Amino acid sequence: MKRTAALVSIFIGLILTYGVVTTKAQVSTQYRADIPFDFSIKGVNYAAGEYVIGPLSANSSSSALACTNKETGKTRILGVLMASSAGRSNESNGTLRFARVNGHYILAEVVTPTFEKKFMKLPKTRDLAKTGEYPKEVVVKLNW
């Protein structure tokens, strides 16, 4: 009886360990995007070009989400991904969703199979009617 209990405990421990390792591996995925227009994220301007977007580290339950310009190597922190930031993309690689307002592109959301992060909420239709500004949604596909 004691041996069976010990084997069950070891088995459960192995399953839990596998789950933690798998989760950390998924959250650490980096994505590439070729963005053909200048844009901004949280008030910071970025030039058109190739970027790598993903968590800085897979070693904790939360990780900083970073954006790195491939040409310059400059990295900026975009926010924090919590352990519950599991992605919801049905596509294999994910997308960047931009709002185009008055000719300027603003990153609204990153959606991937492994994480997601919202940066802005698009205004509701009734609010847009007051200002007369209607943002256009532009989607850029991500690659691994």
Res 45 pLDDT > 90: yes
Q: For the chain, how many residues are written?
A: 144
Provide the domain count of the chain: 1
| Whole-number pLDDT of residue 49 | 96
Res 68 pLDDT > 60: yes
Separation of alpha carbons 62 and 143, rounded Å: 23
| Whole-number pLDDT of residue 11 | 55
Give per-residue pLDDT as tens, 71-98: 999 999 998 886 555 556 555 688 999 9
Give the range of the structural domain holding residue 128, as residue numbers without chain letter: 2-141
| Cα–Cα nearest to 120, from 144, 100, 103 | 100
